[in-house]
Structure 1
Amino acid sequence: MATNYDVIVLGSGPGGYVAAIRCAQLGLKTAIVERELLGGICLNWGCIPTKALLRSAEILHYAQHAKDYGLKIAGEIEADLEAVVKRSRGVAKQLNQGVTHLMKKNKITVHMGEGTLTGPTSLTVKGEKGEEKLTAKHVIVATGARARDLPFAPADGKRVWTYRHAMTPPEMPKKLLVIGSGAIGIEFASFYNDMGCDVTVVEMLDRIVPVEDKDVSAFLEKSLTKQGMTIMTGAGVEDIKVSDKGVKAKIKAKDGKVSETEFTHCITAIGIVPNTENVGLEKLVEMDRGFIQIDDYGRTKSKGLWAIGDCTPGPWLAHKASHEGVTTAEAIAKELGNKDVHPHPLDRSNIPGCTYCHPQIASVGLTEEKAKEAGHQVKAGTFPFIGNGKAIALGEAEGFVKTVFDAKTGELLGAHMVGAEVTEMIQGFVVGKTLETTEAELMNTVFPHPTISESMHESVLASYGRALHI
């Protein structure tokens, strides 16, 4: 006998559990199927615990530079790796328990086990209770993704790590190779560098954090190099030999020369693979490189079957997944007769990106280069933190804010930041873009003083030759 629901969500990451909560808020009988931990990768093994690690590294950095702030700390400052990891896992556990509470609060039934679709709106779950059969009027697939392995050096958790291994390291690396300079690679490179490790980053493209504006990439590379990292762009790892003592990597540099270098550990951060195999999806959806193809509301080609998050086309970000979860939940409610919901499609151009390295980077919209490629006549302006009183007072005067506008219409096309706390500031520009603001509204906005956010205002003024403090 099958258990029936209005909606079943397969996967409980930031897309899945948010979708389930919104469905429940809309009065739908809702269930979640989860094979491992409520909250998914982001909460348990991704976004949140990595930020806890990075916070520890940041505190260590400040302690080691206490004299820059007129302070003396007696004795040597040391990192206790075991304690740092323990704190990070504690943060993840607390939030996992929070999601468990939210499921109970919203009367969402949780089925722990491996879910497999037997049709667009039916599935079996093999878990603690044996095999359960579930049916629903609608099913949302939110199975997420996992780290991509190097074909010639799959992660073993000992010497070759993915992000998951890097979060609970058995030992502190002495010499670390990081392959890939996207958000995950750069965040771990920054963490281990601050913790005292010798770090080398190898990026195949011609600059690090290649999705960011070129000015941000150049600034970050200069900053990380100054901090002691070795950055190799336009380079590739051709082979890795793993032993009990470490890894030997053959690296082809930008000039074509191949050298062999020894490292104690290696982190691979070369992208993701969607978790869409062995779920029963093959005949039910269209896929591109394993990613489920959907419309703007999350519908697949099979009626009643929806998909959201990292198992669908990018950007592969937690906040994008959560937003999709709400949109899809409301679209389902509307199909089931709710006339009070008005779902809106996701505007991918308004999704911010944040990288929590040191210094932080954050952006939304088009880079200056992409804006020109798209045919816009561009006005762009940059304001450095050295011209900002709060940044100087904080001892964080390295960084800048850059804004990109359409010269004809004044439309805000993109904003790009690097420096202290920019991941908190970017939302101001995200709201502006969502409201379709122009330079006029931003110029006429009063920014509080003294704040680093004043640099946002000044960058807008700089785009039009009106900056006041440079």
Structure 2
Amino acid sequence: MSKYDVIVLGSGPGGYVTAIRASQLGFKTAVVEKENLGGVCLNWGCIPTKALLKSAQVFEYLKHADDYGLKVNDVDKDFGAVIKRSRGVAEGMSKGVQFLMKKNKIDVIEGFGKLKAGKKIDVTNDGKTTEYSADHIIIATGARSRELPSLPQDGKKVIGYREAMTLPEQPKKMIVVGSGAIGVEFAYFYHSMGTEVTIVEFLPNVVPVEDEEVSKQLERNFKKSGIKVMTSSEVTKVDTSGKGVKATVKTKKGEEVLEADVILSAVGIKSNIENIGLEDVGIATDRDKILVNDYYQTNIPGYYAIGDVVPGQALAHVASAEGILCVEKIKGMHVEVLDYGNIPGCTYCTPEVASVGLTEKQAKEKGYDIKVGKFPFSASGKAKAAGTPDGFVKVIFDAKYGEWLGCHMIGAGVTDMIAEAVVARKLETTGHEVLKAVHPHPTMSEAVMEAVAAAYDEVIHL
């Protein structure tokens, strides 16, 4: 039986980052992975979807070359080649993680891991089971596409995000159920490729976790581009008996039957906590999540959990941060508890959406007296020159102390801009400090400064 200081179960952006940090801190480390290094994020999520979205964006540019004074004839796409490029990007990133494992002298144990009492873990591969032990076992098994009883996935006509990335041929019609990040990203991709797309969202707004003004702007953009959006609507049943699929949708006005080649179920995720031995060890769970303290220790000493399997935002960067914090605490370092109120969220459709902190509605509900500033990209010289004038930056400040409560963006490249607000909020920067920090011109990012200026009635370019 091999003995380690730290064994990490799962090699996604939570698991492999945790393993690397553990190794850096001097721990003898191993990571257990049943499929591909990098987990869902690198192989079936964050990275390959961005490759698909980039292909869609380039295709859109080519189709609108006239807007830039350019002539491009016979623009078309090769759907299979687009998918192939995405898979190639994912494979390259996974190989990068393999390199990092070797560089950091981390043992990669292939197979399905199951926890045992006494800080042990059984790993089964090709019918053979091997036992390993460690002083510290960190669970980072991630999550998968959640299934609704009314929308069972068959992998062909009713699919999850995984199948959506590798469809053998492009569907003519697609229904996307759910308008969170996964739903709207795939809706944009397939629509850009030429598929007729309908989004069905149960709640009143698309991207429902975002500020209401952002949600309304994205819905306007989608409808303008030709995507059909049905909010306050619910798929109550599906019929896959025919050539395609029929979805019965309950709306405020009654029932409507939609027909399509395929339905993408994007209604959230389900934690991978079954059959990994939690019950055998006695690790406490609640509502599909493993219960942990501020340092990701479970109720059983020596066992920890991070990422999508614990409460908190199910995001790659959150899992990485949790894992680093977890092993640094194990090492005995002084660590600061993660601030879940300052986690940025990003959605990579076009226009992009990015946010951090409180929405305007949440700030009001918490009783803050607020200052709100908004700057549209239609007034940005860089955005106009780039041909991307849609969207805005919205900022929310506490009127009394100047605390930056929230920042919400929709527009081109805003996922790369939101970090300014995250760092500023971490440093407890006030509105006046942001306003007096000189921003470069012409850039998209100066819209942040302009929005802050608007909040304090000092805006110049509106």
TM-score normalised by length of structure 1: 0.97
Whole-angstrom CA distance in 2 between matches of 1:183 and 1:361: 9
Deviations 1:42-98 (A, max 9, x none): 000000000000000000000000000000012x21111100000000000000000
Q: Aligned AA for 2:186?
A: F
The 5-angstrom pairing of residues 129-144 of structure 1 reads 130-144=128-142
Q: Offset at 1:128?
A: 4.9
* Aligned counterpart for 2:234 among listed residues 215, 218, 236: 236
What letter is aligned with 1:42?
C
Select between 20-29 and 239-248 the one with higher mean Cα deviation. Answer: 239-248
Question: For 1:186, which of 178, 184, 187 is the aligned residue?
Answer: 184
Deviation of residue 120 (structure 1)? 5.5
Kept after mapping to 2: 8 A contact 1:201/1:229: yes
Deviations 1:319-361 (A, max 9, x none): 0000011000101111xxxxxx322211001110000011000
Distance in structure 1 (CA, Å) of the matches to 2:145 and 2:330? 31
Q: Which residue does the alignment assign to 1:418?
A: 410
Alignment of 1:268-279 (within 5 A): 268-279=265-276
1:409 deviates by 0.7
Q: In 2, are the aligned partners of 1:120 and 1:139 still within 8 Å (CA)?
A: no
CA distance in 1, matches of 2:172, 2:311: 37
Gap change, CA 1:363 and 1:298, over 3 Å in 2:
same
Q: How big is each residue's C-alpha offset from its partner over 1:90-140, in whole Å with a ceiling of 9 and x where there is no partner? A: 000000000000000000011000100012621110115821111111000
The answer for the alignment partner of 1:267 in structure 2 is 264
How big is each residue's C-alpha offset from its partner over 1:10-53, in whole Å with a ceiling of 9 and x where there is no partner? 00000000000000000000000000110000000000000000
Task: Measure how far apart 1:244 and its partner are.
Answer: 5.1
Q: Counterpart of 2:278 in structure 1: which amino acid?
A: L
Which residue number corresponds to residue 125 of structure 1?
Answer: 123
Distance 1:303 1:181 in 2: 40
Alignment of 1:154-173 (within 5 A): 154-173=152-171
Q: Deviations over 1:350-400 (max 9, x none)?
A: 110000011000000000000111111111110000111100000001110
Structure 1 SS opposite 2:136: strand
4+ runs deviating over 6 angstroms: none
Where does residue 99 of structure 1 map in the other structure?
97
Question: 1:233, 1:254 within 8 Å by CA — same for their partners in 2?
Answer: no
Give CA-to-partner distance per residue, 1:242-262, whole Å, 9 cap, x none.
13521111011123x101121
Question: What are the superposed Cα offsets for residues 119-169 of structure 1, whole Å, 9 maximum, x if unpaired?
Answer: 262111011582111111100000000001121332222111100000001
* Alpha carbons 2:151, 2:265 under 8 Å: kept: no
In 2, Cα distance between equivalents of 1:63 and 1:314: 40
* C-alpha contact 1:287 1:293 (8 A) present in aligned 2: yes
- d(CA) in 1 for partners of 2:147, 2:183: 13
Which position in structure 2 is the counterpart of 1:381? 373
**Which residue does 1:14 correspond to in 2?**
13
Q: 1:302 aligns with which of 300, 311, 333?
A: 300
Is 2:61 aligned against 1:62?
yes
Match of 1:466 in 2: 458
**Structure 2 counterpart of 1:292, one-letter code:** I
Indicate the residue corresponding to 1:447 in structure 2: 439
What pairs with 1:223-372 in structure 2 (closer than 5 Å)? 223-243=221-241, 245-255=243-253, 257-282=254-279, 283-334=281-332, 341-372=333-364
Q: Distance in 2 between matches of 1:118 and 1:286?
A: 14
Segments of structure 1 that go 5 or more residues without pairing to the other structure are 335-340
Q: Which amino acid aligns with 2:77?
A: A
One-letter amino acid of the counterpart of residue 9, structure 1:
V
Backbone CA RMSD of aligned residues: 1.0
Q: Give the drift of 1:284.
A: 2.5
Alignment check: 8 A CA contact 2:150 2:235 kept: no
Indicate the residue corresponding to 2:112 in structure 1.
Answer: 114
Identity %: 54
1: CA distance between counterparts of 2:77 and 2:241? Answer: 27
Q: Which amino acid aligns with 1:458?
A: E
How many angstroms apart in 1 are the aligned matches of 2:145 and 2:230? 22
Q: What is the CA–CA distance in structure 1 between the aligned matches of 2:180 and 2:124, rounded to whole Å?
A: 36
Contact 2:20 2:106 survives alignment (8 Å) = yes
